[in-house]
Structures are given as structure tokens and as C-alpha cells.
Copies of this chain bind each other. A is one copy, B any other.
Amino acid sequence: MLGNFSYSNPTKLYFGDDALSFLPKELEHYGDRVMLTYGGGSIKRNGIYDAVIRVLKDAGKEVFEDPGVMSNPTVQKLYEGCRIARENNVDLILAVGGGSTIDYAKAVSVSAWCNEDPWEKYYLRMEDVDNRIIPVGSVLTMVGTGSEMNGGSVITNHEQKLKIGHVFGDNVMPKFSILNPKYTFTVPKYQMVAGIYDIFNHICEQYFSGTDDNTSDYLAEALMKSVVHASRIAVKNPEDYEARSNLMWCATWALNTLIAKGKATDWEVHMIGQAIGAYTDATHGMTLAAVSLPYYRHIMPYGLAKFARFAKAVWDVRTESMTEAEAAAAGLAAMEDWMKDIGVVLHAKELGVTEEMLDGIAGATFLFDGGYKALTREEVVEILKESL
């Protein structure tokens, strides 16, 4: 736990099957004009929309609807949301949905009153926010991104073939989030599994770096074990409340800055996955799953001790009689078995990636230091080839 850092996470969480009952009290802190942001309409089919509208109306709020947030929110949709927020001078953006919807709500919250192109300022140039920020609250209906308790916001520009995430500060984090595990029961299995892998990979991205002994790595292992355990139950019985609640809670803590403390990170699986997303519009978690095994096998020699520790601590591999390299490989093999068990996509081809796209995807992949191996453009192409 070396180096200097600060920790501040003011998001208030309400968790449990009664969590929505705390929304009225939270709404008291904001003005009457609420922008209700949501996705493709599944919340209308499962009753969550009606429940939320009832609370808003009972609280005397004027509701401005902003539906149609897509799974990879586009810069065009962002411009539309900014217009709605600005024209109606909204006091609060209430995002009802998964990570895409909440990411998008944060994008609107910092962009609505931005007096230049927010895509350029906040995504291409990654500048700090210096304009009015509209507060965001969330009602989470799909689990994975951790967006309910962080400042992350990923926006896609299909024309520029770029999918960029900006991690904003604590002034952009949701003020409150409503986490009811039952709201996730009706998420289609493909999305559920993609979300589970997204959680797991968030943890891996922060775990596989460094050589010092660090409390964050122990916490990361704990979250991975809980995710693996709960995921095996959830894929068999999506309505297992205990499993879904543990997954929901793990997702939040996997990406709210805690387990990154004292760590350098390069987030390369996400960088490659996001580039695939910009080219194919594939589901985020599945893009991560498709490139993970080739990527981790590629960097394993540079972080052998950590991969061996991963095998023992997370997968309960009996590593005593193995060499470090054998133990490390056994850990990845156990991870692969689990990925097959829960049914993630293991080949990028299934996501629509073609041989012809590889140079373009590699070119759209941001390359960072901080992990066990800083990748070159050529190595990304190699990993992508293996992922097909």
C-alpha cells in the first residue's frame, strides 16, 4: 500500500428488496423538475417504470422523459439528452437502468451546461468539469459496470469509431443509488452473464499489477471468490435472491475505486474490449470475455508470481507441488473452466469481429502503462488474432 491517494465516495446506497421506499426521502433534496432517463423500455414491461413514476408523482415532481438510451450510448444520444435537460432546466437526472443508462446520465449531467462540444472536451480531451453539474440519482436494474457508485462514463462515437470512458470526480458520482436485487431477475441471461464477466474483469484489471503486498489485492480476491460462487448459482437459478444480491454488491465494490487504492492499472482488457465495441456494437462484458484469455496468457510471464497467487487464492488450486509457471497456468485454466460454465463468449468472431477489422480495432485501442506488460500495437493485433 505505497504511494499517496485520496478516497472519497459520497454516493448513498439503498440496498434490498425494499430499497425503492427510500427514494421519496432522497427526492426531497432536489427541485421539482426531474429528467427520467431509461433504455429500451424493458422497465415498462417489468413494472419498474410504473413504480418509479408513482414515487415521482407522489413527490410532486414534474417528469421529463428521456427514453431510448442504447447499450453503447452514442454521442448523438448525448446531444439529445443535453437538449432535453437544458430546455427543461431539470434539477435532477434519475437514471433507471444498467450501467449504460447511468453512464449516459453522468455524461448529460456534465455536458448539458457545457459551452463547447462535450465529446471533445470531456471524452477526447478528458478535461475536468468546470461548468454546472446536474445531480444524478440511479435506480439500478442491471448489474456489472459499477456505474451506480463511481464517476465512470463511457460514450461511443460510431463515426469516429471510438468508445471512450472518462472517470469523473466525486462531484459527478450519483448522489444516491437504489439497489434492489429483484430488479435484476428479469435481465436476459446473455446480459446477466455479460454483466457477471464485466464485474470479474473489473477486479482482474485492478488485481493484475504490482509486486508489493497490498490490502487491495486481498480485497480483490475476496470479491472474485464471491462473484464466482454467486455466479454459478445465478446462472442455474436467476431468481436466487442471495446470489443476485451478492453479485449486485460485488459489482458496486469492484469498481468504486476501493480496490484500486495503492495500485497502478492499465485497464488493457477494457481498452481492447471498448475498441471492439466501437467496431461491432457488441455487448460490453462479452467483448472483455472474448479477449481475456489471450490477453492474460500473453502478459502472464511478466507477472508470474501474481498469477500463481491468483490460482491458489481465487481458484483454490493446490499449488504446493507446482512450479510458479505451472501454478499460474492452472489458475488461468480454472478461470477458463468457469467462463465456460457460466457461458460467456470466448471467441470474438461470435461478436462480429472479422480478420479485416483487426488493424482498425488495434488502432482504436488506447495503450497504457501500469500493468505487467505495456502492449505494443502489434501485440494487440496478435491478441485479437488469438481471440477470434
A-to-B contact residues, CB < 8 Å? 1-10, 12-19, 22, 181, 212-215, 218-219, 221-223, 225-226, 229-230, 241-242, 245-246, 248-250, 253, 258, 261-262
Compute how far the CA of A19 lies from the CA of B5 in the bound complex, rounded to whole angstroms: 8
- Closest chain B residue to A229, Cβ basis: B213
CB distance from A17 to the nearest CB of B (A): 7
Known A213-B246, A245-B1, A249-B215: A15·B221 in contact at CB below 8 Å: no
Contacts A7-B15, A8-B12 known; list 9 others, CB within 8 Å: A2-B241, A2-B245, A5-B15, A6-B14, A7-B12, A7-B13, A219-B223, A221-B222, A253-B258
With a cutoff of 8 Å between Cβ atoms, the chain B residues found around residue A3 in the complex are 16
With a cutoff of 8 Å between Cβ atoms, the chain B residues found around residue A12 in the complex are 6-8
- Closest chain B residue to A12, Cβ basis: B8
Cβ–Cβ contact B229 & A225, under 8 A: no
With a cutoff of 8 Å between Cβ atoms, the chain B residues found around residue A242 in the complex are 1-2, 212-213
User: What are the nearest 6 A-B pairs in CB distance?
Assistant: A4-B16, A222-B222, A218-B222, A1-B245, A7-B13, A8-B12
Compute how far the CA of A218 lies from the CA of B230 in the bound complex, rounded to whole angstroms: 12
- Choice from B15, B212, B215 contacting A6 with Cβ under 8 Å: B15
Known A221-B222, A223-B215, A242-B213: A17·B1 in contact at CB below 8 Å: no
Q: Residue among A6, A18, A181 with the most chain B CB within 10 A?
A: A6
Cβ–Cβ contact B218 & A226, under 8 A: yes
Cβ–Cβ contact A1 & B246, under 8 A: yes
CB distance from A2 to the nearest CB of B (A): 6
- Closest chain B residue to A5, Cβ basis: B15
Compute how far the CA of A3 lies from the CA of B15 in the bound complex, rounded to whole angstroms: 8
Compute how far the CA of A10 lies from the CA of B171 in the bound complex, rounded to whole angstroms: 12
Compute how far the CA of A49 lies from the CA of B325 in the bound complex, rounded to whole angstroms: 51
Compute how far the CA of A203 lies from the CA of B30 in the bound complex, rounded to whole angstroms: 37
Cβ–Cβ contact A13 & B8, under 8 A: yes
A-B contact pairs, 5 of them (CB 8 A): A1-B249, A4-B18, A5-B16, A218-B226, A219-B253
Compute how far the CA of A262 lies from the CA of B230 in the bound complex, rounded to whole angstroms: 15
Q: Residue among A22, A226, A241 with the most chain B CB within 10 A?
A: A226
- Choice from B2, B215, B258 contacting A250 with Cβ under 8 Å: B215
Compute how far the CA of A249 lies from the CA of B219 in the bound complex, rounded to whole angstroms: 11
CB distance from A287 to the nearest CB of B (A): 26
Cβ–Cβ contact A246 & B214, under 8 A: yes
With a cutoff of 8 Å between Cβ atoms, the chain B residues found around residue A22 in the complex are 6
Cβ–Cβ contact B218 & A223, under 8 A: yes
CB distance from A229 to the nearest CB of B (A): 6
CB distance from A222 to the nearest CB of B (A): 4
- Closest chain B residue to A15, Cβ basis: B5
Compute how far the CA of A223 lies from the CA of B223 in the bound complex, rounded to whole angstroms: 12
CB distance from A177 to the nearest CB of B (A): 10
With a cutoff of 8 Å between Cβ atoms, the chain B residues found around residue A7 in the complex are 12-13, 15
Compute how far the CA of A189 lies from the CA of B311 in the bound complex, rounded to whole angstroms: 36
